[in-house]
Amino acid sequence: MSTEGQQQEQLSQSDLSPSSNSSSSFEIIDMDAASLYEPVSPHWFYCKIIDSKETWIPFNAEDSHRLEEAYGSEKDCNGKVVPTDGGRYDVHLGERMRYAVYWDELASEVRRCTWFYKGDKDNKYVPYSESFSQQLEETYMLAVTLDEWKKKLESPNREIIILHNPKLMVHYHPVAGSDEWGSVPTEQGRPRTVKRGVENISVDIPCGEPLKIDHLVFVVHGIGPACDLRFRSIVQCVNDFRGVSLNLLQTHFKKAQEQQQIGRVEFLPVNWHSPLHSTGVDVDLRRITLPSINRLRHFTNDTILDVFFYNSPTYCQTIVDTVASEMNRIYKLFLQRNPNFKGGVSIAGHSLGSLILFDLLTNQKDPLENNDSEKALCTDRDLQEMGIPLGPRKKILNYFKNGENTEGINKSNQQSALGRNLPVLSEKIKDCNSIDGAGNDEYLDISIGQASVKYPRLIYKPDIFFAFGSPIGMFLTVRGLKRIDPNYKLPTCKGFFNIYHPFDPVAYRIEPMVVPDVEFEPMLIPHHKGRKRMHLELREGLTRMSMDLKNNVLSSLRMAWKSFTRAPYPALQATEAAAAEEPEPEPEPVPEKPSGWWSYVPAGDSPVANKEAASINVGMLNGGQRIDYVLQEKPIESFNEYLFALQSHLCYWESEDTVLLVLKEIYQIQGIFLDQPAQ
């Protein structure tokens, strides 16, 4: 036997040998041995492949309890399906498999776990199979009942497990590289700890999610299959976003939860990258891709080219069709699985995903409006078969739809609008390079997306559109759109929040396109614990101090200059008398503090400029509210904004400040507000 094995054997014998003062304890064990055994409490786990290795993850306490109830209710579990994870997954008990409901994902194995052993490298506990756990439990029961320990078992892969005593149970793992030909199970090798029951292992078991769903949010990803620096998918990133929202509901909406006014917000991912790259375009790209710098070229083909795909009419149609059809499909499925759902729907997009959603929303039609184009005697297909080009076809169809005479539009404006695919506006609008919706007039088709793309309809009307790290402003400018009319609003969506990190290299503002002649700061998103971050307050304080010092110095210099250039004494008396008659100037009003402890304030350092920025009119794109909202950078990020630029574009998934803004605006629709902090 090896030295390690001898040491383990000595340890086991020393643990089992009774001391001189422990005879009474053993008498108690002999008398009440049968009463000491208690059945083990099972907990359900599922297996995920993370970084190319199996990881066993516990279900939350409520899901595990429901699975155990379903397991014990019937002897035959075949056909038994239990929804878990807030209804996003179904567990088929008979198959012991877990399937995603709303998106494509590899099925994962499910296991009813009672016995565990410590893994090789990460020190995480791994559950034994259900059948072998049953053998371990039966052996343990006999050992406790008869007080006969040092029981040996052989695992299915011919490894030895020894139950030395209730506190010491060991699994001997074979030495790497040992000869397996004709070998017999042995106690040689590195011992691993064995534990009975999930309560004896170090694992975090999450709490369950509220059953009631108040609001549904679809989340659309940007370029590429990976959505963060850890190269995780949109499903994993939205899981983080949802997890942050559940924590914030407990801390910032605690009163509403205790009064059972709210449940939770469900966030569901929408994937368009996989359907796009399954069209065969990747095969075509591989044929023309150079063999050098293979990894960089693969990254370019799989990620960066998504921007060019969206600018291609052919693949843009594929992308918008995929996004719209996926959201419609998931929405129908969600209603089938949640028939009592009465909440609203919002949509959120990250990076290029926000542009896709913006183009979809600007090309929606309000179903409540009278759609005269459907009553037209000819359709777009009819006009196309007649050989009429795209621009004139749109004019003819829009004429029927609006019932308006467009003769007042001058020819140059028509050509400008159609040539750059900009709005064809009514004769009352002077600027043709704008999105317009002023007054009560019924304007023609906006069509700021691709000219040859037919944008599908959504089967619901979103309440709010959230854009994270969005390049919408840049794309609109590149398309030739100079300004957005203040009266324009999305046809079927009332709210629009453009949220970005100050160092995000992909993000652009929207408000300067609505108010192009005024420079003003975006609204600053408060820290989720309130106020500004300390380094920002310090910087703002130093700025104010320097401004005050500068003003005091200038005032002193002016007074000194006046003392050198003052008039003779009689004239000075007259001047002083006239000055005494003048009323004292009124002090400048102090800007009012925003109502509520978690309120948006302009991001500038000047109080006067901030007051002006807070009251500026940015139009109806967000229902009269401000549109641009900037996050506060972390202290470490402020040292080098270039170093954290890429991370800033991918920070939104785990940003408490971003999630809290989303929750605040969603629940504000229902008349539910954030808790006031304890005084």
Report the C-alpha gap between 490 and 548 in whole angstroms.
44
Torsion over CA: 396, 397, 403, 408 (sign): negative
CA 175 to CA 183: how far, in whole Å?
A: 12
What is the pLDDT at residue 253? Answer: 94
Burial class (CB in 10 A: 0-12, 13-18, 19+), 113: buried
How many CB atoms are closer than 10 A to CB 115? Answer: 26
Provide the annotated active-site residues. Answer: 351
Q: Which of 18-22, 413-417, 573-577, 579-583 is the least confident region?
A: 413-417
Which residues, other chains included, contact 451 with Cβ-Cβ below 8 Å and sequence gap of 6+? 313, 390, 421
Q: How far apart are CA 108 and CA 97, in angstroms?
A: 6
Report in angstroms the alpha-carbon separations of 332 from 15, 338, 594, 642. Answer: 62, 10, 41, 44
> What local confidence, expressed as pLDDT, does residue 631 receive?
94
What is the percentage of the chain residues whose pLDDT exceeds 90? 50
CA distances from 579 to 337, 584, 645 (A): 79, 9, 56
Please determine, for residue 544, whether its predicted confidence score (pLDDT) is greater than 80.
no
Q: How many whole angstroms from its chain centre is CA 324?
A: 19
Euclidean distance between the first and final Cα of the chain, in Å?
67
Residue 6 pLDDT exceeds 60: no
Distances (CA, A) of 584 to 16, 300, 581, 646: 94, 68, 9, 54
In angstroms, what CA-CA distances link 220 with 29, 237, 238?
A: 62, 11, 10
Task: Report which of residues 56 and 573 the model is more confident about.
Answer: 56
The SS3 of residue 172 is strand
d(CA 308, CA 447): 20
What is the pLDDT at residue 101?
97
Model confidence band, residue 556 (pLDDT cutoffs 50, 70, 90): low
C-alpha to C-alpha distances, 483 to 119, 237, 417, 431, 472, nearest whole angstrom: 60, 34, 14, 9, 13
pLDDT at position 365 is 86
Q: Give the mean model confidence (pLDDT) for residues 241-256.
A: 94
pLDDT at 375 (0 to 100): 44
Helix, coil or strand: residue 456: coil
Q: How far apart are CA 662 and CA 676, in angstroms?
A: 18
DSSP 179: -
For 349-394, write each residue's pLDDT tens digit. 999 999 999 999 999 987 555 444 444 556 666 676 676 776 676 6
Q: Which amino acid is at 411?
A: K
What pLDDT sits at residue 549?
Answer: 60
The answer for residues whose C-beta is within 8 angstroms of residue 273's C-beta and 6 or more apart is 221, 223, 224, 225, 306
pLDDT digits 0-9 by tens, 293-318: 999 999 899 999 999 999 998 899 99
pLDDT by residue (tens digit) across 467-493? Answer: 999 999 999 999 999 899 999 999 999
- Round to whole Å and give the CA distance between 406 and 392: 12
C-alpha–C-alpha distance, residues 392 and 679, integer Å: 66
Say yes or no to pLDDT of 16 above 70.
no
The pLDDT of residue 404 is: 42
Length of the chain: 679
For residue 427, is pLDDT > 50? no
**Mean pLDDT, rounded, of the chain:** 78
Neighbours of 346 (CB within 10 A): 24
In three-state secondary structure terms, 39 is: coil
Strand partners, 152: 162
Q: How many CA atoms lie within 13 A of 352 on its CB side?
A: 21
Q: Are strands 190-196 and 115-118 parallel, antiparallel or unpaired?
A: antiparallel
- Give whole-number Cα distances, 647 to 202, 433, 526, 642, in Å: 32, 35, 20, 10
**pLDDT the model gives residue 422:** 41
Residue 529: the pLDDT is 86
Asked whether the beta carbons of 460 and 449 are under 8 A apart, the reply is: no
Asked if the model's pLDDT at residue 179 lies above 90, the reply is no
Give the pLDDT band (50/70/90) at residue 573: very low
pLDDT in tens, 386-421: 767 766 766 677 766 655 443 333 333 333 333 333
**pLDDT of the residue at 446:** 43
Rounded average pLDDT over 163-168: 90
Greater confidence (542 vs 51) lies with: 51
Residue-wise pLDDT tens digits, 109-159: 999 999 999 887 777 899 999 999 999 999 999 999 988 888 888 888 888
C-alpha 427/C-alpha 407 separation (Å) is 9
Q: Is the pLDDT reported for residue 8 higher than 90? A: no
Say if strands 495-500 and 464-468 run parallel, antiparallel, or are unpaired: parallel
Alpha-carbon distance 644 to 650, whole Å? 10
CB 166, CB 194: distance < 8 Å: no
pLDDT value of residue 535: 43
What CA–CA distance (Å, rounded) separates 83 from 74? 17
pLDDT at 128: 94
pLDDT average, residue stretch 331-350: 96
**Which segments of 25-80 are extended strands (E)?**
43-50, 53-58
pLDDT band at 563 (very low <50, low <70, confident <90, very high): low
Q: How far is CA 343 from CA 378, 496, 562, in A?
A: 39, 19, 69
Do residues 417 and 392 lie in contact, with contact meaning Cβ atoms separated by under 8 Å? no
Is residue 449 within 8 A of residue 310, CB to CB? The reply is no
Which residue has better confidence, 431 or 97?
Answer: 97
pLDDT at 29: 42
pLDDT for residue 283: 92
Q: CA 56, CA 17: separation in Å to the nearest integer?
A: 37
The pLDDT, as a whole number, for residue 643 is 81
Residue 40 pLDDT greater than 80, yes or no: yes
Q: Are strands 628-630 and 523-524 parallel, antiparallel or unpaired?
A: parallel
Cα 392-393-394 angle, rounded to 5 deg: 90
Model pTM above 0.85: no
User: Which distant-in-sequence residues (6+ apart) come within 8 Å of 452 by Cβ?
Assistant: 313, 317, 390
Residue 600 pLDDT level (bands cut at 50, 70, 90) = confident
**Can you give the pLDDT at residue 642?**
79
User: Do 452 and 316 form a contact (C-beta atoms < 8 A)?
Assistant: no
